[in-house]
Amino acid sequence: MVYFVYILHSASADRYYIGYISNLEERLKKHRSKNRGFTSIASDWKIVYTEEFLTKQEAMHREKKIKSWKSKIMIQRLISQKR
């Protein structure tokens, strides 16, 4: 199974969300469906960045690393480097 670390962006909220999952498309649908939690602040979430990993542990580690930056500028740099 492949795991993804992903970054979503909401233009209306001008916010980023970082997560990991094995089924990226299904997860995006849930983020857009106004479920409880952080992503319920908007419905226009768009995938702007992904990385693939072979194990859940690798994906979890990378997600934690990106979240530890706590910097919008560093997240934007990461996204622009992948393009």
| Amino acid found at 71 | S
Tell me the average pLDDT across 6-11. Answer: 94
CB atoms within 10 A of CB 73: 8
Model confidence, pTM:
0.87
d(Cα 30, Cα 36) in Å, to the nearest integer?
10
Per-residue pLDDT tens over the stretch 12-67: 999 999 999 998 877 777 766 667 777 777 888 899 999 999 999 999 999 999 99
Q: What pLDDT score was predicted for residue 57? A: 97
- In order of their start, the domains of the chain are 3-82 (3.40.1440.10)
